[in-house]
Structure 1
Amino acid sequence: MTTTETGPPGADKVDKLDSAVLKVAGVVVLGAVMAILDTTVVNVALQALALEFQTSFDTIQWVVTGYMLALATVIPVTGWACDRFGTKRLYMLAIVLFLVGSMVAGMAWNVESLIAFRIIQGLGGGMLMPAGMTIMTKAAGPQRVGRVMAVLGVPMLLGPIGGPILGGWLVDAVSWRWIFYINVPIGVVALLLAWRLLPRDESRPTERFDFPGMLMLSPGLALLIFGVSKIPAAGGVSSLEVWLPALAGLVLIAGFLVRATRIPNPLVDLKLFKNRTFTIAMVTTSLFMIAFMGAMLVLPTYFVLVRGESALRAGLLLAPQGIGAMLTMPIGGRLADKVGAGKIVLPGLALILAGTAVFTQVGADTPYPLLLGGLFVMGLGMGFTMMPISAAALQTLTQRSVARASSAMNILQQTAGAVGSAIISIILASLLAGKFGVPTSQGQLAASAMLMNPQTHGMAAEAAGDAFATTFLWALVFAVCCVVPAFFLPKRPPKPVEEEPELETAAS
């Protein structure tokens, strides 16, 4: 019956998303919200967790970094697993792992156990996004990727909006343990809906799993991020505990890259990078994640540490950013399909730069309307940037290539995000230590102690504000770097063909 409809073949499918695609989107969105909500909730709770476990910021930040390490190490397996076992089965397994990690994290008895249980969460969370994106892209087809990414993106922004608010309220009024327990009912619903609504897909057990590649890439990523994140505690890059794991990680990653060009079924298909659009999108998204994740880590800390806000109020103050993104993300996704991602991403980056620039001037008494306005403008830019870049990366790929491409994209995004978080936290820790004349690992604790003392509060607030302003300046520099590759993103809508033989052969 659909073949007798008026208009060009497939035109109706391009113009709107049918109910089947929207049901799939709803399931994927629920799982994604669960993972993203947990990340933003924890960011707001870091100061409370540091006090709860009587530890320093460079230790408690491993609650975030350990999670991101697990994400980076498990993502390389996801592309192969999607092909081998089917995306529906893998997606449900990811939800179960995330649920188990959430429950035991809520029962943690010290900081070491909390970090370990967060890693279990990360193993599930690392598979949720690439598997979900694969499911969504296959359901929608390449001509609706931008539209479907917008559908995926808007509810996902409930995490950045609701996460800090919910996390702040739970920390202030209930218990930090509930920032993890809250995932349980969401995850149970997501698991039931995935079982009922996601289409059953065929597994393709034709390729052998690249175990040697996994043994090089996953530990390599973990060692590299571990080394970088140890810089604040070690006081510099010359320390053995910094450069040795980082160097070992680089050697393993380099070995993986050399091997991947010489075997028929690598864990990450490097031949995808022969696609110019995919490569440009990957460079752009990597630079964007370095700037974005770094800034997101320190924004709540500024409000809590320098301005003396509670965790709940800090979460409320971050809401304008998510609201701004919710307004522009549906428009960005629709326009990316119609005019090309390049024409959307560049204006989005301009807005992000303008919003971030506001925070390069923060101090102890910067007016809140200015800060909230900067966050709102930043959010408007995010809506025009995040999903159109992802859509550009996937729109020119065949259905057969999507699973591997989604994994490659998520590996780069999570690795860049972890590196960005580590770099920005290093910069902030060093600046605070310099302002208060203490070792790098003690900078935030010294600032907190002096800010709580009425006699030193004024001087400490001014010094800490300067440190945050300089830190945001570095985030702005990283964001500026995104502009160069973004200039080369496609400025035309994707072609209506769904097959590109050279990528098909590359993936097979």
Structure 2
Amino acid sequence: MTAGSANAGTDTSTGRTPTTAVPAPVWRVAVVLASGSVMTGLDTSLVNVGIEIIGRELDASLTAMQWINSGYLLALAATLPTCGWLSRRIGTGRLWLWALAGFTLTSALCALARDADTLIAARVLQGLTGGLLIPTGMAILGQVAGSGRMGRVIAVSSVPAILAPAFGPIIGALLIDNLSWRWMFLVNVPIGIVGLLVALRVVPRGASGRAARPDLPALFLVALGLPLLTYAITAAMDGRGLFVAAVLAPLVVALVALVLFVHRSLRAAEPLMDLRLARDPVYAAAVSTVFFSSAALFGGLIVMPLYFQLGMDKDIIDTGLLLMAFSLGATVTFPVAGRLTDRYGGGIVTVVGLVVTVASTVPMAVLPSDPNVVLVEALQVVRGVGLALAGSPVVSAALARVRSHQMPDASAQVNILSRVGGAVGSAICVVVLADALADARSEVEVAAAFRGTFWWLTGMAAVALALATWLTRAQRGARRTAAT
């Protein structure tokens, strides 16, 4: 890693970086890689809509059906830490192609399942492949784009991830109403096949065969720790609370395993995942910001549907339509965020985005029990703008600090922190809201429950803002060091 890698060509008198055009071949790679983002982004939101119907048709309990999602998430968490080693072993591009092929095949297996056990098993396999698609795709983008163009490329490629939560439930409802729940999985098959055929021509394979044997004890620790952490957070969100054995026991085991994994990885000559990247202050500040900004993002994504349904008495269709306001603001802003990142650096853009996020979340925490829907929608558009300015720029800031061969490890770490941060933010919001709603007996008390939850969201965004400020200062220090 070089201290000035993220800021090559920066004008130190202005802090601006001259931008260069993104070549057409890079955009072609980005568009193809988006097929993986579309598939994984839509998958969970589609399945959430159909859990109850799937259980009814397969004659399975709702508890068993929850493992359709839980099994997927646990498998995905177990796969993420191996991304760097596998990329070094077989090449980042080859790994992405295999992951896309596997996700496509396992999607078809899910659609063909005849009982709950088979479907859950297929979802676990789908999670194993899905866990590799996003970090390897991000690593390829970082390698082909280069630091001076990374902001624009990653920002545009992030659009599918932000659109999925808005359009997924509506698409899922339409598929169930007009076809069958099986089409929630079958829809991935043509996307995957077309993506594979095009990717074989445009996606670079990458170097292979340079990885040592995997550190098996480290692999055991992280493959134990991350899924258990995911399970504990999910169990807490299911309403069990934090201080119960079913949550606390796996949480403690997970934290111990992850601490031991970090200790071993920092001491190993050939670590499974290179955690020493965090010794760079810019990278450390960026990935820390990713954690808390993801908590604010995903916490909001889980609270807002409940707010529309319970706080404003909207049905599921109206809720889906109202949720589009956030995605609209984010989608329009992503390309602008990318250009600003390449020109001014990810730190300052992230700071601006989080200021906007805080400013648009605070009003939600003081709204009356009968809020104006136009005002709520306007605030959601602005919040989408803020989180788009905070999302891809901070990821670009992290990836721009590493060399090409370190990109798979860096992208895996960014994705792990993003997913864990999002899960923690979601769990906090669900637990806080559920506790408050349990005692609510009137519309005024329901509104008060949501206001308290929005204050928690504001706090998460505020912590992310403080870390983004650290990131901005670290980037300035790196520029001064590079100039001397």
Give the TM-score range, shorter chain. 0.7 to 0.9
Q: Is 1:482 aligned with 2:464? A: yes
Deviation at 1:228, TM superposition (A): 3.0
Give the distance between the partners of 2:370 and 2:350, measured in 1 at CA: 33
- Which one of 368, 383, 386 corresponds to residue 388 of structure 2? 383
Question: Secondary structure at 1:15's aligned position in 2?
Answer: coil
- Which one of 425, 429, 454 corresponds to residue 472 of structure 1? 454
Q: Give the alignment of 1:420-499 within 5 angstroms.
A: 420-435=425-440, 459=442, 463-490=445-472
In the alignment, what sits opposite 1:39? 44
Deviation at 1:35, TM superposition (A): 1.0
**1:318-375 deviation digits (Å, cap 9, x = unpaired):** 1111111122111111111111112211111122123323433467642221221111
Deviation at 1:465, TM superposition (A): 4.2
- Which one of 281, 287, 290 corresponds to residue 286 of structure 2? 281
Give the distance between the partners of 1:467 and 1:119, measured in 2 at CA: 36
- Which one of 70, 75, 85 corresponds to residue 70 of structure 1? 75
Code of the aligned partner of 1:214: L
In the alignment, what sits opposite 2:218? 213
**1:459-496 deviation digits (Å, cap 9, x = unpaired):** 4x555444333333322221221111110223669989
Code of the aligned partner of 2:450: F
- Which one of 141, 153, 156 corresponds to residue 151 of structure 1? 156
In the alignment, what sits opposite 1:248? 253
Deviation at 1:60, TM superposition (A): 6.2
**C-alpha RMSD over aligned residues:** 3.2
In the alignment, what sits opposite 1:329? 334
Give the distance between the partners of 2:209 and 2:352, measured in 1 at CA: 41
In the alignment, what sits opposite 1:448? none
**1:93-133 deviation digits (Å, cap 9, x = unpaired):** 21123223323434556766655443332222211111001
Deviation at 1:276, TM superposition (A): 0.7
Is contact 2:436–2:449 with CA below 8 Å preserved after alignment?
yes
Q: Is 1:178 aligned with 2:183? A: yes
Alignment TM-score, normalising by the size of structure 1: 0.82
Deviation at 1:198, TM superposition (A): 0.9
The structure-2 alpha-carbon separation of the partners of 1:495 and 1:354, relative to structure 1 and needing over 3 Å to count, comes to closer
Q: Is 1:338 aligned with 2:354? A: no
Give the distance between the partners of 2:192 and 2:163, measured in 1 at CA: 16
Code of the aligned partner of 2:255: L
Deviation at 1:174, TM superposition (A): 4.2
Is contact 1:337–1:493 with CA below 8 Å preserved after alignment?
no
Question: Secondary structure at 2:268's aligned position in 1?
Answer: coil
The structure-2 alpha-carbon separation of the partners of 1:206 and 1:214, relative to structure 1 and needing over 3 Å to count, comes to closer
Deviation at 1:382, TM superposition (A): 1.8
Code of the aligned partner of 2:453: T
Is contact 1:90–1:131 with CA below 8 Å preserved after alignment?
yes
Q: Is 1:357 aligned with 2:358? A: no
Code of the aligned partner of 2:270: N
Bigger Cα displacement from structure 2, 330-339 vs 205-214: 205-214
Give the distance between the partners of 2:115 and 2:445, measured in 1 at CA: 32
- The sequence identity of aligned pairs, in percent, is 35
Give structure 1 stretches of 5+ with no counterpart. 1-7, 437-458, 500-508
- Which one of 17, 21, 38 corresponds to residue 16 of structure 1? 21
Give the distance between the partners of 2:364 and 2:422, measured in 1 at CA: 20
Is contact 1:167–1:315 with CA below 8 Å preserved after alignment?
no
Give the distance between the partners of 1:159 and 1:233, measured in 2 at CA: 23
In the alignment, what sits opposite 2:376? 371
Give the distance between the partners of 2:260 and 2:412, measured in 1 at CA: 19
The structure-2 alpha-carbon separation of the partners of 1:229 and 1:159, relative to structure 1 and needing over 3 Å to count, comes to closer
Give the distance between the partners of 1:247 and 1:415, measured in 2 at CA: 15
Give the distance between the partners of 1:194 and 1:153, measured in 2 at CA: 18
Give the distance between the partners of 2:88 and 2:467, measured in 1 at CA: 31
Code of the aligned partner of 1:330: P
Bigger Cα displacement from structure 2, 394-403 vs 102-111: 102-111
Deviation at 1:62, TM superposition (A): 5.3
In the alignment, what sits opposite 2:4? none
Is contact 1:102–1:183 with CA below 8 Å preserved after alignment?
yes
In the alignment, what sits opposite 1:81? 86
Deviation at 1:36, TM superposition (A): 1.1
The structure-2 alpha-carbon separation of the partners of 1:45 and 1:309, relative to structure 1 and needing over 3 Å to count, comes to farther
Work out the number of aligned pairs and report it: 466
Deviation at 1:41, TM superposition (A): 3.1
**1:263-302 deviation digits (Å, cap 9, x = unpaired):** 1111121210111111001110001112211221232233
The structure-2 alpha-carbon separation of the partners of 1:175 and 1:314, relative to structure 1 and needing over 3 Å to count, comes to farther
Code of the aligned partner of 1:294: G
Q: Is 1:290 aligned with 2:295? A: yes
Question: Secondary structure at 1:261's aligned position in 2?
Answer: helix
Give the distance between the partners of 1:374 and 1:238, measured in 2 at CA: 35
Give the distance between the partners of 1:384 and 1:233, measured in 2 at CA: 31
Question: Secondary structure at 1:386's aligned position in 2?
Answer: helix
Give the distance between the partners of 1:233 and 1:323, measured in 2 at CA: 30
The structure-2 alpha-carbon separation of the partners of 1:233 and 1:328, relative to structure 1 and needing over 3 Å to count, comes to closer
Question: Secondary structure at 1:318's aligned position in 2?
Answer: helix
**1:231-269 deviation digits (Å, cap 9, x = unpaired):** 355743332222211111111111111111221111121
Is contact 1:396–1:494 with CA below 8 Å preserved after alignment?
no
Bigger Cα displacement from structure 2, 408-417 vs 18-27: 408-417
Give the distance between the partners of 1:487 and 1:407, measured in 2 at CA: 24
The structure-2 alpha-carbon separation of the partners of 1:106 and 1:494, relative to structure 1 and needing over 3 Å to count, comes to farther
Is contact 1:169–1:311 with CA below 8 Å preserved after alignment?
no
Give structure 2 stretches of 5+ with no counterpart. 1-7, 10-16
In the alignment, what sits opposite 1:224? 229
